[in-house]
A and B are shown apart, each in its own frame.
Chain A
Amino acid sequence: MTHNIYIYLAIMAAVTYIIRVLPLTLIRRQIKNRFLQSFLYYVPYVTLAVMTFPAIVDATQSPAAGAVALAIGIFAAWKGAGLFPVSVMCCAVVFILELFLVR
């Protein structure tokens, strides 16, 4: 091991912080361009959707349990359940299903 772990960690932290803080500090006014505005409006939903599926199916021991958790989560959120209830419901679904699906 020729490299120092603390220097590695410092580089990671510095790069990560710069990525996050530059837009927050440099962009001081409202973006007027309609395309950019629309783009930034859609970014959060698209990113979160992309990160949710198929990751939720790959995260659980049994893919089926992950898939059912996704379906029930969407249904509950559609019916108006908040962050915490939906989260807990998904966890419970996986836990219960895997009692049967995984030995």
Chain B
Amino acid sequence: MKKNKITLTENRTAFAEGMRDGIPIGLGYLAVAFSLGVAAKRAGLTAFQGFLASLLNNASAGEYAGFTVIASDAGYLEMALMTLVANARYLLMSCALSQRFAPSTRLIHRLALGYDVTDELFGITIARPGVLNPWYTYGAILIAIPCWSCGTALGVIAGNILPLRAVSALSVALYGMFIAIIIPPAKKNRVVAVFVALSFLASFGAARLPYLAQLSAGTRTILLTVVLSALAAALFPVTPNET
């Protein structure tokens, strides 16, 4: 009984912390979703359909890819394949997350967390030490998802009301968060630091080089992630207590 109470308090604290960390994510989402809404409108979606797409997908690159499929009126199979490729990195992220669940975690939590494995929520979830507490992520989701889906609807309705200056400044909120997630471990672990630097270089190169630059950003992300992480794992395997 007493143990239950402690867990309840822990969950409540984790939920509150998740909501706090969800604020920068929500702000970033609002900006990104807004520009996504502009793309949705071009593809012929109504504000409600844009809202629904974002509520059900929570994936910037995946949704953008989907909207291009809708815009070209391509087949349903192509939609499925496009979504698969654009979102394949979430498969890797979910594999990584699965290792951080306590083995006893109930199915309902696994199903619920699967609703919203995004770059950002994955980042802050994995950045917390120890066993994964899904309540932390739920807190962040509660803030992030309304921003994401309403931002998309707003983008459809009023694509060009927000001044460009504000959109430009808001658009780096997400990246600022990524930086805050990867730098502390890089400071502690020299291998991580080297591979963060290598990732920057490789990503820059891939975005500018012929052939590679023609791939979608999502595909490039998958390729580079697999290659660089495999390289790091082969050259510098971690000891179990590090992970």
User: Residues of A with Cβ closer than 8 Å to B?
Assistant: 1-3, 5-9, 11-13, 15-17, 19-31, 34-56, 58-62, 65-66, 69-70, 73-74, 76-78, 80-95, 98-99, 102
Contacts and interface: CB of A to CB of B under 8 A. Distances in A.
Nearest to A69: B172
Interface string B1-35: 00000000000000000001101100110000000
A98 B53 contact: no
Contacts of A46: 195-196, 199, 224-225, 228-229, 232
A43 B93 contact: yes
B: interface residue count bin: 35 or more
The 8 residue pairs across chains A and B that have the minimum distance between CB atoms = A21-B114, A90-B176, A49-B199, A77-B183, A38-B233, A13-B56, A23-B94, A95-B169
A12 B79 contact: yes
Given A12-B53, A73-B180, 17 more contacts: A1-B44, A1-B73, A9-B49, A16-B83, A23-B98, A25-B110, A39-B233, A44-B123, A52-B175, A53-B200, A53-B204, A54-B207, A73-B179, A86-B180, A87-B28, A95-B165, A95-B168
A62 B60 CA distance: 22
Contacts of B215: none
Contacts of B225: 43, 46-47, 50
Given A24-B113, A27-B99, A87 B173 contact: yes
Given A61-B168, A84-B23, A86-B176, A54 B232 contact: no
A85 B183 CA distance: 14
15 contacts: A25-B110, A28-B103, A37-B238, A38-B238, A40-B95, A41-B233, A46-B199, A47-B119, A49-B182, A50-B203, A54-B208, A59-B175, A66-B172, A87-B177, A90-B179
Given A27-B98, A102-B165, A69 B176 contact: yes
Contacts of A76: 180
A77 B180 contact: yes
Most chain A beta-carbon contacts within 10 A, residue among B101, B107, B176, B185: B176
Contacts of A6: 49
A19 B23 contact: no
A30 to B, nearest CB: 6
Contacts of B57: 12-13, 16
A26 to B, nearest CB: 8
A47 B180 CA distance: 14
B68 to A, nearest CB: 11
B124 to A, nearest CB: 7
A87 B111 CA distance: 30
B63 A94 contact: no
Given A46-B228, A86-B176, A41 B242 contact: yes
